[in-house]
Amino acid sequence: MAEPLDTILPLTSLTEDETLLRDTVRQFAQQEIAPHVRAMDEAQHLDEGILRQLFELGLMAIEAPPELGGGGASFFSAVLAVEEISRVDPAVAVIVDVQNTLAINALLRWATPEQQRLWLPRLAQQTVCAYALSEAGSGSDAFSLTTQARADGDAFVLNGRKLWISNAQEADLFLVFATINPEAGYRGITAFMVERGTAGFTVGHKEDKMGIRASSTCELLFDDCRIPASNVVGESGKGYKIAIETLNEGRIGIAAQMLGLAEGAWSLAVKYSKERKQFGKPIAEFQAVQFALAEMATQIEAARNLVYNAARMKGAGIPFVKEAAIAKLFASRVAEQVASQSVEIYGGYGFVRDYPMEKFYRDAKIGSIYEGTSNMQLATIGKLILQ
């Protein structure tokens, strides 16, 4: 596989530790994930051995402190891991992305020390945590959610239904957003940690998706599900703040996923163009193919700079919301464009499942939808540039 365009600039240069992480994850993805990609896609199931190895490599709690079992690394390191896995299989990258940029980020910022000691070691060692915000009537309008949490002594009783919850099939912990006061609007939203197996809580229907099929997406059902008050994450009524700020960070992870997807598709297109012969010579020698590869390379380089810039800003404590939205918007567009053009370079072979390109094409579409649609990113960017 051709290497991505690792231009050495101040923005995109990596530290020694970051380079080691990138190279380790790249090797793991190529050697351990790649042989299972097609089978996982067809089975719509993440290989349990791969999930176990993700924990063993320390990729499921990259930012968590070492004393709680984590890697003690940076947000940027988590972004690098998502990018590298996505070069081989964006579906596997979802479980690493959600665990790190949403679940663990939320716990590091808003959980009490006692809660962190309870949950973070589990997330580092063997437990997947899903992030449950979306509902049938609340997608982009996330705060119109209707799942309710009624106070009852030293507990809350949850009732409602969540949809489109990534990693729900594999998860044993769920960060669930519900309202304790529907009349208060977004000020009633509260975050709860819910354990799989809790009475009244069921992981329901698993969606049959177009792309990222090895990544599970399920509904969650709450029917008088009783949760201890000690499982409230952050303050009651402040769940909207947790949701907004974690999604702002999570968008950089999705941008990294789309960047990695584009890199993977482009690398395969380059390799194939050197092997495929027409009219007596490799198609790479035709100017039209060279121009297509050059256009893709330019888009990927621009996307990488946007993604890395947003991640570095977040890590440095600099306001990054606009940059995160720009990175996600642009990287998702690049992923679709590069995947589509790569299918064309493969020709008829790009349209069949015997080759990996059609899967990259199917996987690319989700980038413009989840963790904020492209229209929502445009709205965010427009609002912030006019302030």
CA atoms in the 13 A half-sphere facing the CB of 154: 1
pLDDT tens sequence across 27-40? 999 999 999 999 99
Q: Is the pTM of this model over 0.85?
A: yes
Structure tokens, 373: 């649609």
Q: Tell me the C-alpha distance between 59 and 358, whole Å.
A: 27
- The H or E element spanning position 159 is strand 155-166
- Reported as a pLDDT band with limits 50, 70 and 90, residue 160 is very high
Active site residue 344: no
- Asked if residues 204 and 219 have their Cβ atoms less than 8 Å apart, the reply is yes
DSSP 8-state assignment for residue 3: P
For domain 241-385, give the CATH superfamily.
Butyryl-CoA Dehydrogenase, subunit A, domain 3 (1.20.140.10)
- Asked if residues 324 and 252 have their Cβ atoms less than 8 Å apart, the reply is yes
- Asked if residues 341 and 292 have their Cβ atoms less than 8 Å apart, the reply is yes
Q: Tell me the C-alpha distance between 123 and 172, whole Å.
A: 10
Q: Tell me the C-alpha distance between 357 and 353, whole Å.
A: 8
Does residue 4 surpass a pLDDT of 90?
A: no
pLDDT tens sequence across 62-78? 999 999 999 999 999 99
- Of 81, 41, 29, the closest CA to residue 59 belongs to 81
Q: Strand 201-206 and strand 155-166: pairing?
A: unpaired
| Residue position matching structure tokens 């690049």 | 334
The whole-number average pLDDT for the span 148-154 is 97
- Reported as a pLDDT band with limits 50, 70 and 90, residue 9 is very low
Domain boundaries, the chain: 16-127, 130-239, 241-385
Confidence (pLDDT) at 182: 92
Q: Tell me the C-alpha distance between 263 and 307, whole Å.
A: 13
In terms of Cβ atoms closer than 10 Å to its own Cβ (0-12, 13-18, 19+), residue 15 is exposed
Q: Strand 129-132 and strand 173-179: pairing?
A: parallel
Question: The domain at 16-127 falls in which architecture?
Answer: Orthogonal Bundle (1.10)
Q: What is the dihedral of CA 209, 212, 213, 214, to 10 degrees?
A: -150
- Asked if residues 174 and 123 have their Cβ atoms less than 8 Å apart, the reply is no
Q: Tell me the C-alpha distance between 183 and 339, whole Å.
A: 45
Percent of the chain with pLDDT over 70: 97
pLDDT tens sequence across 216-271? 999 999 999 999 999 999 999 999 999 999 999 999 999 999 999 999 999 999 99
Residue type, 60: M
Confidence (pLDDT) at 12: 62
Q: Tell me the C-alpha distance between 244 and 233, whole Å.
A: 14
What length is written for the chain? Answer: 387
Structure tokens, 56: 């063993």
DSSP-derived 3-state class of residue 45: coil
DSSP-derived 3-state class of residue 209: coil
In terms of Cβ atoms closer than 10 Å to its own Cβ (0-12, 13-18, 19+), residue 247 is buried
- The H or E element spanning position 173 is strand 173-179
Confidence (pLDDT) at 6: 44
Confidence (pLDDT) at 11: 55
CATH classification for the domain delimited by 130-239, as one of 2.40.110.10, 3.40.718.10, 2.160.10.10, 1.10.730.10: 2.40.110.10
Catalytic one of 219, 263, 358, 371: 371
